[in-house]
Amino acid sequence: MRSLVCTGPGALEWQDAAAPSLESDGAALVRPLAVATCDLDAGMIAGETPFPAPMAIGHEGVGEVVDVGDGVGSVEPGALVSIPFQVSCGECAACLRGHTGNCRSVKGTAMYGFGAVGGDWGGFLSDLVRVPWADHMLVPLPEGLDPAAVASASDNIPDAWRTVGPPLEREPGAVVLVVGGAGAGSIGLYAAGIAIALGAEGVTYVDGDASRRATAAAFGADVLEPGAERLGPFPITVDASGDREGLNLALGSTAPDGVCTSTAIYFGEPVPMPLFEMYLKVVTFETGRVHARPAIPKVLDLAAGGEFRPAEVTSRVVTWEDAPAALLERDWVKLVAQRAV
């Protein structure tokens, strides 16, 4: 089979790879059909992150089930499914708590599309991927959903959901601040759209990029350019900026007893935080990798109901063969490579 591999900074090529096999009764083989970029992908391909080449690319996608083991009962060949980017069993103590990104049945940070750091599970821009524990991992697509629109349900959309979904469950109707812009910038936009879909009374979105501000405004957010040292206060804030000033804007704008969730990754030097102010206000700060699998049904249902329109974030949809050239252009917020069912 073929797989798209980043062989070094700015270098992508289709390579022949051994086709995966089921290997267990609980596994499935899935043919990716719509594969989206993660906000990390452009930096990974350019050699700007700690994830070294070579790596098979792609960890957000919808696919068609091709084959299943004898023990699989939830999906059949032909089903369209969302594939979590993290590999998890669904049965260990971590998974049972919803911490599927730290599954104890796999070694380290088992992920698709991250090369050796992820455990060499391959990438979704391949003809076929193996999914162990298929009954747990695979999430069937609701009827009528466009695979290209929800390809990011594997990672970036759940990453956005966890910043606003649980806080809005605890405080329905709360106002939300999102500071966007990290990497390609999709997660902050998804967070704004999801917060509005979940009934936030108001969402303020801050970003230096005019096109992303326009997308947030189309969701119904109030948009601002960076510059303020603090806003609000907001009981729910989101740092999706990847910027020290953006992080401190989110933290400084968090209301007493509020929660600030950061989805951004801060490589390199330590980032200062206003810990004394946070202490006085009793601010909860959350960061870290998303545990994607538990959130996937929630975001798919939200999209299927029409309240959340993830396609608004998609910049371009290209053919499978055009994916390498499009990935190198870096002119997208969310790029989707699609092939025929």
Over the stretch 171-197, which tens digit does the pLDDT of each residue have?
999 999 999 999 999 999 999 999 999
* 329, 193: one domain: no
Q: Same domain, yes or no, for 75 and 25?
A: yes
Residue 150 shares a structural domain with residue 15? yes
Nearest CA to 80 out of 149, 19, 1, 22 is that of 149
Per-residue pLDDT, 80: 98
Contact 200, 168 (CB under 8 A): yes
* C-alpha span between 63 and 140 (Å, rounded): 10
End of a domain among 286, 311, 327?
Answer: 286
Structure tokens at 290: 């998303």
Residue 119 and residue 70 share a domain: yes
Task: State the virtual CA torsion across 249, 255, 256, 257 in degrees, nearest 10.
Answer: -100
Per-residue pLDDT tens over the stretch 282-335 = 999 999 999 999 999 999 999 999 999 999 999 999 999 999 999 999 899 999
Within this chain, do residues 43 and 141 fall inside the same structural domain, yes or no?
yes
Say whether both 263 and 299 belong to one domain: no
Buried b (16+ CB within 10 A) or exposed e, 10-42: eebeeeebeebebeeebbbbbbbbbbbbbbbbb
Mean pLDDT of 242-258: 97
Number of independent structural domains in the chain: 2
Tell whether 176 and 86 lie within a shared domain.
no
Q: Is the pLDDT of residue 107 over 90?
A: no
| Model confidence at 131: pLDDT above 80 | yes
For residue 237, give its domain range.
Answer: 156-286
Residues 126 and 212 in one domain: no
149, 298: one domain: yes
CATH of the domain at 81: 3.90.180.10
Which CATH number does the domain housing residue 196 bear? 3.40.50.720
Same domain, 238 and 301: no
Mean of all residue pLDDT scores within the chain: 96
Q: What pLDDT digit, counting tens, does each position of 28-48 carry?
A: 999 999 999 999 999 999 999
| Same-domain status, 184 and 279 | yes
